[in-house]
Amino acid sequence: MRAAQTRITILLMGGSCLAVGAAYWLAVRGQPLSPFILVRGALLVIGTALVAMLAITALVRDAARYRRLILDQIQHSLMNDLPGIAAPPKDPNARPIVNTLRERIDSLQSRADQLQIQKKNLEIQLRLADAQRRQSLIMINGISDAVLVTDSFDELLVANPAAAEVFAFDLAHSTKKPIAQLLDSPAAAKLAADISDLRANHTRTNRRTVDYQLEIEGLLHTFSVTLSCVIDNHDQFSGVVTVLHDRTRENEISKMKTDFVSHVSHELRTPLSSIKAYAELLVDGEATDDKTRSEFYHIIQAEADRLSRLIDNILNISRIESGMMRVNKKSISLNEILKQAVEVTSPGAKEKNIAIIDQTSPIFFHVQADRDMIYQSVLNIISNAIKYTPAGGTVRLALEVREEEVVVLVTDSGVGIPPEAMKHLFEKFYRVEQHKNMAKGSGLGLNLTRQIIESIHKGKMIVISEVGKGSTFGFSLPIAA
Ligand code: ADP
């Protein structure tokens, strides 16, 4: 408003100056030029120039004010959620600018909204990816095989506790470390080199399976190692996954099975060969008199019994190990079982002039157990005591109660067991080398006895021995309530 007034004032003043100038020129036209006329003319020109300067100054100021007014209006609109722009500006000259600005701001606003939605989506995806990453880590950590994941710089991305244990590195501070630094033992360094090699040549081979032998806590372990390249959706190499499967135990079991089959075949062949040989002698009429024939019949019978015992032992051991053994536990008296076992083994003891001294208590001790199995165990122990005691020796039987347990002890004055053999006594088919000529045996009796006492009846085997002095074999069982 003030700008318009200023403009009108200046125009009026300009017009007045021009009118005065024109009137003056008409008045002095045709008159000779005098100094007075010249001075008045000059004053008129100066006055007109001053008015023109004033007009220009007012116009410049007016333009500056006008510009500031528009900027204020825009700023006001932006600060107050565009109400000023939403309403059409009062000055018609500002409308096109404000409209353009409003469109621009509208498009910026919608872009900002879109970006906000995109940001929220990305946050959700990030949270999902993080949850998936944690889930994958939990799964990798749960794998019993050792797992190592390396990137395209051969630096560790992920490892599980099994891997940290195998290669003895600190799992918490291993990420992003060069794999060659983590796998630094000579045997493990070969694996680190293979990982690098697969990474470098991944286009040719994407998977390799290699066997490694690594020492863990002083024991040599055999690992079957699978190295696989990870290629992403864009055919880009992302890393190498290395899985180490410890085959040591499997190898041991496989060897045990092979040994077992070869032992069983060997043990079966021995009595079978005897039976076959004596039967052939009888068929060929080599036994000419009744005494020889009877002797051959007895040998065949004894070997057949041995064969049958051996097969029974093998079957019982395998039934117990596979959990297929039928167990019939009831309250039984150990005194009776010992008595019966002594009756059965006495003829053998008598042949060797071995005295069986019964020192069992007259009090009857009962245990909750399978009678046949406990009888089998007691029989094995007393038979061994007689077998590994030279003629003229003694075998003492004791039955006593210690705290909540009943203890059966069979002490002989036999050859005893060398200390180095003690830890092998209960292994299948183990026989002390020095005893092999003393008596026939299969090396299964003590293994079966221990399985019966410890696995089935939750008791404990007892062995004390001294070479040349004798041995005490026995077991303890929880006393029946
Ligand atoms: P075997 O059929 O050979 O007797 P066992 O499993 O009963 O098989 O015994 C394993 C080995 O333990 C025997 O071969 C023997 O060397 C040793 N052994 C067992 N009992 C005695 C004992 N009382 N005295 C000395 N050695 C024994």
- 319 neighbors 349 (Cβ within 8 angstroms): no
Element at 207 (helix H, strand E):
strand 207-216
Whether pTM > 0.75 for this model: the answer is no
What is the rounded CA–CA span in Å between residue 477 and residue 338?
A: 14
Cα distances from 68 to residues 78, 86, 97, 179, in angstroms, run 15, 20, 14, 67
Q: Which of 431, 453, 465 to mutate to test the pocket of ligand 1 (most atoms within 8 A of CB)?
A: 431
Which atom of ligand 1 is found nearest the CA of 414? 24
State the amino acid at position 91 in one-letter form.
D
Name which residue sits closest to atom 16 of ligand 1, judged by CA.
Answer: 432
Q: Is the separation of the CB atoms in 109 and 121 below 8 Å?
A: no
Q: Which atom of ligand 1 is nearest to the CA of 416?
A: 25
Query: What angle, 0 to 180 degrees and rounded to 10, lies between the N-to-C axes of helices 371-387 and 334-351?
Result: 30
3-state secondary structure of 43: helix
Query: What are the angstrom distances between the C-alpha of 314 and each of 39, 130, 230, 285, 339?
Result: 149, 56, 50, 35, 26
Closest CA to 475 of 400, 424, 423: 400
Write out the chain's pLDDT in tens, 481 residues.
Answer: 555 566 677 677 767 767 777 777 777 777 776 777 778 778 877 877 887 788 788 778 877 887 788 777 766 666 565 554 556 667 777 778 888 888 999 999 999 999 999 999 999 999 999 999 999 999 999 999 999 999 999 999 999 999 999 999 999 999 999 999 999 888 888 999 999 999 988 775 688 899 999 888 888 999 999 999 988 878 888 899 999 999 999 999 899 888 888 888 888 888 899 999 999 999 999 888 999 999 999 999 999 998 998 899 899 998 998 888 889 999 998 999 999 999 999 999 999 999 999 988 778 888 999 999 999 999 999 999 999 999 999 999 999 888 889 999 999 999 999 999 999 999 988 999 999 999 888 899 999 999 999 999 999 999 999 999 999 999 999 987 6
Please give the number of the atom of ligand 1 that sits closest to the Cα of 432. 16
Answer yes or no: are the C-beta atoms of 375 and 335 closer than 8 Å.
Answer: no
**Is 201 buried (19+), middle (13-18) or exposed (0-12) by CB count in 10 A?**
exposed
| 380 CB within 6 A, ligand 1 | yes
Alpha-carbon gap, residue 93 to 85, rounded angstroms: 14
What does the alpha-carbon distance between residue 355 and residue 336 come to, in Å, rounded to a whole number?
Answer: 19
- The set of residues, in sequence order, having a beta carbon less than 8 Å from that of 89 and lying 6+ positions away, is 73, 95, 98
For residue 439, the SS3 value is coil
Residue nearest to atom 23 of ligand 1 (CA): 385
Sheet holding 237-246, edge to edge: 156-159, 146-150, 237-246, 219-231, 207-216
Ligand 1 contact via 388 beta carbon (within 6 Å)? yes
Q: Quote the strand ranges of 334-481, DSSP E.
A: 355-358, 366-370, 394-402, 405-412, 460-466, 470-478
Cβ density class 318-348: b for 16+ within 10 Å, e for less:
eebeeeebeeeeeebebbebbeebbeebeee
Output the CA 221–ligand 1 centroid distance in Å.
32
342 alpha carbon – ligand 1 mean position (Å): 18
* DSSP category for residue 434: G
Give the per-residue pLDDT at 49. 81
Rounded CA-CA distance 187/223 in Å is 12
pLDDT of residue 431: 93
Handedness of CA 417, 419, 423, 424 (dihedral sign): negative
464 within 8 A of 381, measured Cβ to Cβ: no
Q: pLDDT at position 86, please?
A: 55
